[in-house]
Amino acid sequence: MKVEIWSDITCPWCYVAQARFEKALAAFPHRGAVEVEHKSYELEPGRAKGDVEPIIKVLMKGKGWTEAQALANERNLTAQSAGEGLPYVAGRDHGSTFHIHRLLHFAKARGKQHELVKALYRANFGEEGSLFADDERLVALAAEVGLDADAARKVLAAPDAYADDVRADEREGAQLGVAGVPFFVFDRQYGVSGAQSTEAFTRALTQAWGDRSPLQAVEGADDAHVCGPDGCPVPH
């Protein structure tokens, strides 16, 4: 069974939902047969890479809030995260995530995507310091999960590296109806939108597992040629 998760590293509800999904998965009897893949989604696709602002300012501008209201919002997120045992430092930098998604595709190609997602969430929401000030913080996190620092640095410095993969994920998400994140897709059959409860994720896993169906054969020649362990039979 395959679970695909569309998310953005600047999305606090993705951070919370990821923890809830992992709780559900850890208790799922068939967890060994569940493959998880992270897909790119940008909350702010229009923002340029160098355009970094404190989230408090972004909230004040975007929502027309006072500084006190924006801070209250952040403290609320601290409380929600604490409910899942997650650290959340109120106030953080906000910026474009396109290069971070590119880095996540590089990590995926090296089997470290999940580890890097977790490290990025923790660094962005749970630790002091900006994820957006320069690329070196990202390089350090990549190295921390076992990726080659130089290779990661090169990926970040090359704007086209893995850019097509990010765009392909975004296109695929749009086709599936992903209009906000987090969005969890189970075997391309079931969708779970938002930071649902651990119980809802358990329900989704159970339902999708129960509904796994064998592939249907498309009408064709029964004796179409196949190569297998015994070789490649050839018509006489």
Considering the complex, what minimum distance in angstroms separates the CB of residue 49 from its own copies? 19
Q: Which two tokens stand for residue 181?
A: 């994140």
Q: How far is CA 78 from CA 42, 44, 140, 172, 190, in A?
A: 22, 22, 25, 32, 30
Closer residue to its own copies (CB): 136 or 174: 174
* Contacts for 53 with CB less than 8 Å, ≥ 6 apart: 93, 94, 95
Omega before 182 cis (within 30°)? Answer: yes
Q: Minimal distance in Å, beta carbon 227 to its own copies?
A: 4
**Least distance (Å) between residue 29 CB and its own copies:** 16
Q: Identify which of residues 62 and 136 has a Cβ nearer to its own copies in the complex.
A: 62
- The structure tokens 């493959």 sit at 35
> b/e per residue, 217-234, with b = 16+ CB within 10 A?
eeeeeeeeeeeeeeeeee
Q: In terms of CB distance, is 22 or 187 closer to its own copies?
A: 187
Select 118 or 209, whichever has its Cβ closest to its own copies. 209
Distance (Å, rounded) from C-alpha 94 to C-alpha 56? 9
Residue 109 CB, nearest approach to its own copies (Å): 3
**In angstroms, what is the minimal distance from the CB of 136 to its own copies?**
24
Q: With respect to its own copies, which residue has the nearer C-beta, 136 or 199? A: 199
